[in-house]
Amino acid sequence: MTNNPGNNKPHRGGSARSPRRWWRSAGFAWEGLVLVWSTQPNFRIEVWATVLVNVVACLLRADLAPILLSCALVLTLEVINTSLEALTDLISPDIHPLAKIAKDTAAGAVLIASMLSVLVGLSVLGPPLWQLLGW
């Protein structure tokens, strides 16, 4: 259905339960992730940090759930931040104080999640790492 409540015509892609429509939508989402990967150096750093910390967690046999959730939050916020920056640039191509607020606060959300993810990583990985090192 479209956003117009009075219009009961289905979307062009067919039924929302259609596997074809799902794959088409997943393709658009994948294009977005490829764009973020190719244009955002911080995203690439965060992805590699995610891989590294999860490998370490597996080697230490630590609880993966908090690590995975923290990493997912950081990566998701980075993608949202990128989309918000692009939308802000489209709406306000000239420098504007409100555009700055939108961009800075979205980046701040990524920073908060990143800092707290480090704390989660230390609390989950620290004890088994200290034990392994004999500290």
Which residues carry out catalysis?
78
3-state helix, strand, coil in the chain (%, to 5): 80, 0, 20
Residue 21 tokens, joined: 């429509």
Cα angle, residue 98 at apex, residues 97 and 104 outer, rounded to 5°: 90
CA–CA gap between residue 29 and residue 62 (Å, rounded): 31
Residues 6+ apart with CB under 8 A from 37: 43, 44, 47
| Total number of residues shown for the chain | 135
CB 81 within 8 A of CB 110: yes
